[in-house]
Structure 1
Amino acid sequence: RPGWAAEWIEERRERTDRAERRRTGPAAKAKDPKTAERRERRVGDGLAELDQWLRDQVAHGLARAEKAPYRLWDDAARRLVDAQAGGLAGHVRGLAAIPRSPGWPDRLLEEYALLRLLVRAHQRRDELPEGLRETVRSRIGFTVAQEEVVTGGERVRDLWCATGSRDTAQDLLSTRRVWLRGRRTGRPALVLSFAAPGTSLDASLIVGTEVDAELAFYPGSQPLRALVAERFGAAVPGRPAGTPVRGFLDEHAAALALDPWLDRWPATLENVRLARAGGGDLYVIDEAGDALPLRMGDPWRLLALSGGGPVTMTGEWSSRGLRPLVAWHGTEGTVVL
Structure 2
Amino acid sequence: MDSTLTRRQALVGMGSLGVALALGRPARAATRNLAVLHLASHAPSFIAYERGYFRDAGLDLELKFFEAAQPMAVAIASRDVDFGVTAISGGLISLAEKDAVKVIGGALREEPGTVGAIVLASDKAFRAGLTDPSALPGRSFGITTAGSSFHFMAHKIAQAKGFPLSEVNLRPLQKLGALVGALSTGQIDAWAIQPNVAKKMLAEGAAHQIGLISDYAPDYQVTAAFTSTHNAGAEREMTSAFVAAYSRAIADYNAAFVDNTVDEAQRDELARIVHKYVESESPFEAAKANLVAGAMRINEGLALNMGSCIEQLDWFKSEGMVGSGVTREQLFDESYVKLL
TM-score, length basis structure 1? 0.27
Higher Cα Rg, which structure: 1
Q: Which has the higher contact order (CA 8 A, sep 6+)?
A: 2
From the two aligned structures, give the one with the greater strand fraction.
1
